[in-house]
Chains A and B, each alone.
Chain A
Amino acid sequence: MALTLVGKKIGMTRVFSEDGKRSIPVTVLDMTPSVVTQVRTVETDGYSAVQLGWGELKPRNSTMPQIGHDAKAGTTPKRTHTESRMAEDEAGGFELGQLVGLDTLDGVAYVDVIGTSKGKGFQGGIKRHGFKGQQATHGVERKHRSPGSIGGHGNNAGKAGRIKKGKKMAGRMGDVRVTARSLDVIRIDAERHLLLVKGPVPGANGGTVMVRPAIRLNRSKGKKVSS
């Protein structure tokens, strides 16, 4: 599998297409190069992968194990560490301390962007799961946004006298890992390590995001790539 890079969401703006006809909404991502902090092998770790460290961290804010781990790669302690699983011969091509950045996305038309969505707090069923709620009139009183019956059976057959596990209800919403799939790569600014993708990406400005070449494309985007 391809390398998953780490970066930061900066914010959104717009760019105009080459012919000027369309205005494209874009998210600007700061993709400062990551450092290879560990290469995992089947022999020692049971699987093969490449570990990347990203983001500066003051030594006084980091633990001794962390400093030692990153020092092995000859670098300062990093804030975020991620691993990308890949075949052993592929992973063997990476060296400790090597910098990897946007050059790995050369020629990639679509990327997946993974982030942590904005926390929404405790929300009802309508906002959280898209429930329809009840009618506004016709005698409905004080229950316009309630979820309705939540069943009392527990299993599909009938009468267990409890609620089925995983029943959709009100609760904490957001602040979860979300993947925005197959976003168009609009521009790569290799000099300043900036990546422009079309549309929004999960999370607040300044949040950490992970970027990888799209692993699956829908039909229309797949056609564009093959042609």
Chain B
Amino acid sequence: MGAQEIIASFNTEALKSDLPRMDVGDTINVHARIVEGEKERIQIFAGVLISRKGKGMEEMITVRRVTDNQGVERMWPINSPMIAKFEVVRRADSRRAKLYFLRDRVGKSRRLRDRRRGMKHVEGQKTIG
């Protein structure tokens, strides 16, 4: 067994198998588990997925949302047990792997093209949405 397989083998049971398909640009809801003392509740963080990086257990996602004109970005390990669920709300078309340019955008230009409208029709290929 190679070194990388040994390292990966420690995480087989921790890797999530029920992840929805999430691409950069999609608007997602992250259901984060918040533990306060004994009690536990779910907090939903809704925003645009602007970055996915790393592989396997190391994969991180960055979600950006704007509230009261204040941009907020949060990062999570995608396989963290502290995340109960991911929900994809809206799919969007993105030509880039990282949408850091959204940080400088204000107003309407902050919106991303919807995948349904943006996709060109290709014969035989099913459009998503």
Residues of chain A touching chain B, judged by Cβ–Cβ distance below 8 Å, are 10-16, 20-21, 23, 26, 28, 30, 187, 192, 194, 196, 205-206
Label chain A's interface by main secondary structure: strand
Nearest CB of B to A83, in Å? 28
Closest residue of chain B to A186, judged by CB?
B10
Q: What residues of A have a CB within 8 angstroms of the CB of B10 in the complex?
A: 13, 15, 26, 28, 187, 196
**A16, A28, A192: the one within 8 Å of B7 (CB):** A28
Question: Which of B3, B33, B80 lies in contact with A206, CB distance below 8 A?
Answer: B3
Q: Main SS of chain B's interface residues?
A: mixed
Residues of B within 8 A of A12 (CB): 7
Q: How far is the CA of A2 from the CA of B33 in the complex (A)?
A: 44
Given contacts A15-B10, A21-B82, A187-B10, 17 further A-B contacts (CB under 8 A): A11-B3, A12-B7, A13-B11, A13-B58, A14-B57, A16-B14, A16-B80, A20-B33, A20-B80, A23-B77, A28-B6, A28-B7, A28-B10, A192-B6, A196-B10, A205-B3, A206-B3
One of A10, A11, A14, A30 near B77 (C-beta < 8 A): A14
User: In the complex, what distance in Å separates the CA atom of A23 from the CA atom of B58?
Assistant: 10
Given contacts A10-B6, A13-B57, A14-B58, contact A23 B11 (CB under 8 A): no
Interface size of B by CB at 8 A reads 17
Q: What residues make up the interface of B, taking CB atoms closer than 8 Å to A?
A: 3-4, 6-8, 10-11, 14, 33, 35, 57-58, 77, 79-82
> How far is it, in angstroms, between the C-alpha of A11 and the C-alpha of B56 when the chains are bound?
15
Closest residue of B by beta carbon distance from A22: B82
- 15 residue pairs of the A-B complex, CB under 8 angstroms, read A11-B3, A13-B7, A13-B8, A13-B10, A13-B57, A14-B57, A14-B58, A15-B11, A15-B14, A16-B79, A16-B80, A16-B81, A20-B80, A20-B82, A23-B77
Q: B79 contacts which chain A residues (CB < 8 A)?
A: 16
Nearest 10 interchain pairs by C-beta? A20-B81, A13-B7, A10-B3, A11-B7, A16-B81, A11-B3, A10-B6, A28-B7, A20-B82, A13-B57
